[in-house]
Every structure is written in C-alpha cells, then in structure tokens.
Amino acid sequence: TLTGHTDNVVTCAFSPDGSVLVSGSVDNTLKVWDTQNWGIVLATLTGHTDNVLTSAFSPDGAVLVSGSFDNTLKVWDATNWGTVLAELTGHTATVYTSAFSPDGAVLVSGSFDNTLKVW
C-alpha cells in the first residue's frame, strides 16, 4: 500500500520503462514513486491549483502531462522532476483526460468544456 497523498487518488500512470509510477490526487499534487523500492516518493509535483485528474507519459518517457480541475495541463520534465516545461491553456473547464499519440508527436486532452484539444 502506497501512502502519502492527503486526499483521493484519481489517476496513475507507469513510465514506459516501468521505473516510476506517478499518481495524481484531489490534493492538487502528483507523486512520483520508485517502483524498485515501493513506498519511496522520488518527488512531489506541485503547481496545479486544483484537483489533478489525469496523467500520461510520452511514449519515450521524457515527459509527463497532467491535467486538472484548474482547466490546464502541465508538461513535466520526467528527467528532472519538478521542472514544468510548459503549461497548456485553452480549455474553459476541467481537463479530464489526456493521451499521447504512439509516436509522441501529438498530445490530446479532453475537457468538461465538451472539446478535445490537439496540442
């Protein structure tokens, strides 16, 4: 059992190589877990101002994207945890889902604003 979030956990994603698991929570954070030493939190990612609802790794594992009730996506550097490479704005409501294309060239996000954004 992994503990550390202070509210409901609503998303999780393994890195493509399986070395880390990222979890996102209603506590507005993501946690990066070491899968070789379960229970060890490598980083706590802060920056969203509301619930984190979605997380996805790029196919090469270089970046993680997270989406939130704050209507934004954050693109995190998965080689330097805590570094935000970009904040994607444009949705007018909660970002509920996100996915990368198989080649990693395209990111798509879905929102309660009834749209999909292609980034």
The rounded percent of the chain whose pLDDT value lies above 70 is 100
Mean pLDDT of the 52-70 span = 98
Rounded to whole angstroms, how far apart are CA atoms 31 and 10? 12
Chain segment 20-49, per-residue pLDDT in tens = 999 999 999 999 999 999 999 999 999 999
Q: Name the pLDDT band for 72 (thresholds 50, 70, 90).
A: very high
* pLDDT the model gives residue 16: 98
What is the DSSP secondary structure assignment for residue 92, as one 8-state letter?
Answer: S
**What pTM value is reported for the model?**
0.95
What is the DSSP secondary structure assignment for residue 102, as one 8-state letter?
Answer: T
